[in-house]
């Protein structure tokens, strides 16, 4: 997928022999992507006990859930939280970054990452639409079709 993003200006996607879309990699991500990925790492202090980190983590999780109601927690451990945030009409990059920057000092955020759905994830969602080929039933085949089994009876 990295090669496609680097070399292709437009891509076409077919599922079960049917044309699904044509466009740039950014167009495919925007139109068929599932939203954003948000990963936040809290700072761990040397003298800090586990309960304080857990309390800050819980508070951060409440903040993310209230700020982005469409967010889904994917993973959480040792001060690291990973959310998937679904796209919505009012959700922009500026709002995502602004909300995390606003929370940076309050929750003592060491590092964070906001990213868009990857091209690989877009293709996986198309692959889920793929069906197994079905055997052609010669008795139900119409004379108007162009399959080679129509002449056999």
Tell me the C-alpha distance between 2 and 12, whole Å.
16
Give a yes or no: residue 100 inside a domain. Answer: yes
Total number of domains constituting the chain: 2
Q: pLDDT value at position 153?
A: 40
Instruction: Mark whether 28 and 59 lie in a shared domain.
Output: no
Give the CATH number for residue 96. Answer: 3.30.70.270
Q: What is the mean pLDDT of residues 98-111?
A: 93
Q: What is the pLDDT of residues 116-130, one digit of tens each?
A: 888 888 888 888 888
User: 38, 82 in Cβ contact below 8 A?
Assistant: yes
Q: What is the mean pLDDT of residues 9-29?
A: 88
User: 92, 86 in Cβ contact below 8 A?
Assistant: no
Give a yes or no: residue 151 inside a domain. Answer: no
Q: What is the mean pLDDT of residues 71-81?
A: 92
Confidence of residue 111 (pLDDT cuts 50, 70, 90): very high
Instruction: Mark whether 45 and 100 lie in a shared domain.
Output: yes
Residue-range definition of the domain harbouring residue 2: 1-33+118-133
């Amino acid at each position: 997928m990295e090669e496609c993003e680097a070399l292709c200006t437009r891509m076409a996607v077919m599922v079960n022999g049917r044309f699904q879309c044509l466009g740039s990699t950014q167009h495919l991500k925007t139109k068929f992507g599932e939203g954003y990925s948000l990963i936040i790492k809290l700072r761990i202090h040397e003298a800090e006990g586990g309960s304080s980190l857990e309390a800050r983590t819980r508070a951060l999780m409440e903040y993310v859930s209230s700020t982005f109601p469409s967010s889904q927690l994917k993973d959480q451990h040792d001060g690291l939280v990973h959310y998937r945030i679904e796209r919505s009409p009012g959700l922009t990059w500026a709002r995502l970054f602004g909300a995390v920057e606003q929370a940076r000092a309050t929750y003592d955020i060491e590092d964070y990452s906001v990213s868009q759905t990857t091209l690989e994830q877009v293709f996986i969602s198309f692959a889920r639409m793929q069906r197994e080929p079905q055997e052609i039933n010669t008795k139900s085949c119409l004379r108007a079709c162009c399959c080679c089994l129509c002449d056999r009876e």
